[in-house]
């Protein structure tokens, strides 16, 4: 079985500050891990994904995440927050070979203050 826990349903940062959104997963098989962003009343946009290989993955809009197997974590970071980063962020896990069956975390709302 697989599951995802996002720590903190709401994160608030100042513009220009570091963004850190936490995600821990549970998986009995090697996981594929994803971060998606959702703007109000829209679908999800893929920010980045980890499948195999390099554990530090870079995504769009300056975001990156590091897969840490020992900590079962896949935290999302961005060095400097922009106002346009304000959105809902979802961490998700799937099994290798079945990326369609995504298990999503509860989501984290990122607020960026001017």
Residues near other proteins (CB under 8 A) are 32, 34, 36, 41-46, 49, 51, 90, 96-107
Q: In the complex, what is the shortest distance from the CB of residue 7 to other proteins, in angstroms, rounded to a whole number?
A: 14
CA 114, chain centre distance (Å)? 23
**Between residues 17 and 102, which has the closer beta carbon with respect to other proteins?**
102
Q: In the complex, what is the shortest distance from the CB of residue 80 to other proteins, in angstroms, rounded to a whole number?
A: 26
Residue spans of beta strands (DSSP E) within 1-114: 2-7, 10-14, 19-27, 31-38, 44-50, 56-58, 64-68, 73-78, 87-95, 98-104, 108-113
Q: In the complex, what is the shortest distance from the CB of residue 51 to other proteins, in angstroms, rounded to a whole number?
A: 7
């Amino acid at each position: 079985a697989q599951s995802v826990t996002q720590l903190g349903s709401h994160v608030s940062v100042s513009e220009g500050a570091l963004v850190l959104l936490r995600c821990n997963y549970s998986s009995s098989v090697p996981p594929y891990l994803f971060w998606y962003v959702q703007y109000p009343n829209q679908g999800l946009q893929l920010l980045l994904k980890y499948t195999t290989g390099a554990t530090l993955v870079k995504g769009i809009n300056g975001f990156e995440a590091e897969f840490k197997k020992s900590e079962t974590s896949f935290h999302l970071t961005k060095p400097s927050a922009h106002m346009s980063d304000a959105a809902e962020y979802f961490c998700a896990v799937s099994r290798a070979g079945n990326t369609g069956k995504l298990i999503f975390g509860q989501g984290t709302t990122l607020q960026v203050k001017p």
